[in-house]
Amino acid sequence: MADSSKAPFAFEGLDRVLHEKARLSIMTSLADHPKGLSFTELRELCGLTDGNLSRHVQILEEAGMVSVTKGFEGRRPLTTCKLTDEGRARFSDYLGVLEQVLRSARRKDAPEKNLREKFT
């Protein structure tokens, strides 16, 4: 594993399970809805097809980050997805690293911005 002091932009903490557009979208939607979301709501919020959503939810479930419960609403089957405690902790860790990435980018961007402002 790379030494973070020697390679400050290695960002080793970026969780590979989460570092994917669809899964990031699912995790963000679920983080905003602590009581969970139905499969249909999640599909609409993430703009994914049924097949894609199922595949990514299954990956997150196998990683212990999302819990899936199957029940009924009236007579209709209802699948609900929720973040687990492990999912919340790992997503928070991931967001922490993402925050570092953005802060690094802002520091890198600042001198160029200052120069632009000076000469325009």
Check binding of 102 to other proteins (CB under 8 A): yes
Please, what is the minimum distance in Å from the beta carbon of residue 92 to other proteins? Answer: 5
Site string for other proteins, 9-28 (x = CB under 8 A): -------------------x
Check binding of 52 to other proteins (CB under 8 A): no
Q: Which residue has the tokens 């399970």?
A: 17
Dihedral (CA of 71, 73, 78, 80) sign: negative
Question: What is d(CA 64, CA 20) in angstroms, rounded to the nearest whole number?
Answer: 16
* Residues ≥6 apart with Cβ < 8 Å to 104: 8, 9
Segment 80 to 99, residues that bind other proteins, using CB under 8 A: 82-86, 88-89, 91-93, 95-96, 98-99
Q: Which residue has the tokens 């402002």?
A: 117
Q: Which of 2, 21, 106, 114 binds other proteins (CB under 8 A)?
A: 106
Contact 14, 24 (CB under 8 A): no
Q: Which residues bind other proteins (CB under 8 A)?
A: 28, 31-32, 34, 36, 64, 67, 69, 82-86, 88-89, 91-93, 95-96, 98-99, 102-103, 105-106, 109
